[in-house]
Structure 1
Amino acid sequence: MTRTPVYFLSHGGPNIMEDYDHPAYKKLQEIGREITQKVKPKAVVVFSAHWQASPTSIQVNTAELTDLIYDYYGFPDHYYKVKYPNVGSKELSSRVLSALKAANIPATGVSRGLDHGVFAPFTVAFDPKTNPLNVPLVQVSLFDSDDADQHYRLGEAMQGLREQGVAVIVSGMAVHNLRDMWQAMQRPAQIWNV
């Protein structure tokens, strides 16, 4: 088996699920088809910018069945009723925890739902009716830090999983804190977002 690719899905808000005319919508669908029809992973490990554990440790979702986390506000009511079918894997989450331990990255298993950084772009990329993912999905946190070296080591720790047919998907945006972004628009540009 060849090593699976790594994907980055820039998702924006949950409204991407209904923004059919946005170029990102069609691109997410294209990426989703590539993953299900060409890559055909045995499982998926996903990292979302919306889950940060601590500055020094990682958390891995070990639950097989979870609800969704509607981690946004101010949207119409139907955005809080969205469902996305997903099944975790105790075996895969155990392999992730082992890989992190081997890389000397402190990590613990937790039971947690999928946040919109996962279910919003996945609903578009892996539409349950037209292009279902149909493989186990395990979400892993990021560090609660901006330390690039820590996150690089986290990526390195996942390399062995890619050789076992597990696709790695990362979800977020280059500048993700919308409150800071909106405030920055009212004052001189900050060095990190120019």
Structure 2
Amino acid sequence: MTDICKVLMIFPLFNAGSFWNYKEACDLTGARYPAAPLGLITVAALLPKEWDVRLVNRNTEDLSDEDFRWADMVMTGGMLPQRNDTQHIIDLCRASNKPVVVGGPDVTSSPALYGNANFQVLGEAEEIMGDFIAAWRRGAREGTFQAPMGKTDVTKSPLPRFDLLKLDQYLHVGVQFSRGCPFSCEFCDIIELYGRV
């Protein structure tokens, strides 16, 4: 089995009416979206260097049939307000016969809702991507990978793949120095998954 893999990373659309839709602010500044998908570009940095990675952010650009033809595997996932589009992406992958890997906070908190994906990566990617990559290289084309709960030491996390971004599409690019959240928003489960900062 070849060690080269073409990975299409797709950042799903946020629901238009969600807290995370800053359309008016972006319209004022000329940006297409407020922030870059830091989680996906961090996962991209965890993949083997010889793997070819492309990123499509559905909040800023269109996804094409050519994107699917190019890919050997699709990685996607996100938060609750992205669930509908994540499910749509999984359906597109299944229709294109492409293995799809889902991860992120919503998948971790509600894995049963994502049973139609080939792979589920639950919990912190830094803790489990090595196991996923080893399984993929052995020829596995489905499975669930569960990271131990707890905080990941982000000082050991690789530098995100900022080279995958089209920087002119964003108001800012975040830099992560911790995991968790200091707030107690009723609609969010981040503190349950990743703790408080």
Structure 2 length normalisation: TM-score?
0.30
Which has the bigger relative contact order, CA under 8 A and spacing at least 6?
1
